[in-house]
Structure 1
Amino acid sequence: MTVEDRVIRIIAEQAMIEPSDVALTDTMQDLGIDSMGLVECIFALEEEFEIEVPFNANEPEKSDFDISSVQTVVAGVEGLIARQKA
């Protein structure tokens, strides 16, 4: 299972939909994920990939982690994994 597949599975679980219903271009809002759901997603991603996501739920716009779409979340997780291995 790829990083992308795993991220989509986590996001889909939080949105209570099937992974096949998640498009890379979807935003968290598109999927019905609110700020609490987003925090749950971040925790799940950290646990799944053993990474630390630089995200401040109180000031998401100031975070170094782009949550604007599923695609940017996948890219962010891939970047964090790569940095951790370096």
Structure 2
Amino acid sequence: MSVQDRVIKIIADQAMIEPSDVALNDTMEDLGIDSMALVECIFALEEEFDIEVPFNANEPGKSDFDISSVTSVIAGVERLIADQSG
């Protein structure tokens, strides 16, 4: 399973929808993911990929991790994986 598929599955689980209902250009808001579900999502991503996501739930705008869309989350996870293995 690709990084993209794994990220989408985690996001879909938090949104309580099917992965096939997640579009790459969806925002977390589009998917009905509130701040609490977003934090759960971040924890799940960290656990799934053994990474540390630089995200501060209290100040999401100041985080180095872009959560503006599903695509940006996937790109961020891929970057963190690459940084870790590099």
Q: TM-score, normalization: structure 1?
A: 1.00
Q: Distance in 2 between matches of 1:9 and 1:33?
A: 14
| Residue 72 of structure 2: aligned partner | 72
List gaps (5 residues or longer) in structure 1: none
Look up the SS of the partner of 2:7 in the other structure: helix
Q: Which amino acid aligns with 1:30?
A: D
| Residue 83 of structure 1: aligned partner | 83
List gaps (5 residues or longer) in structure 2: none
Look up the SS of the partner of 1:45 in the other structure: helix
Where does structure 1 differ by over 4 angstroms across 4 or more consecutive aligned residues? Answer: none
Q: Distance in 2 between matches of 1:13 and 1:69?
A: 16
- Say whether 1:4 aligns with 2:19: no
Aligned-pair Cα RMSD in Å: 0.2
| Residue 61 of structure 1: aligned partner | 61
User: How much has 1:59 moved relative to structure 2?
Assistant: 0.1
User: How much has 1:25 moved relative to structure 2?
Assistant: 0.2
Share of identical aligned residues, percent? Answer: 81
| Residue 13 of structure 2: aligned partner | 13
Q: TM-score, normalization: structure 2?
A: 1.00
Please give the per-residue CA displacement for 1:13-59, whole angstroms capped at 9, x wherever unaligned.
00000000000000000000000000000000000000000000000
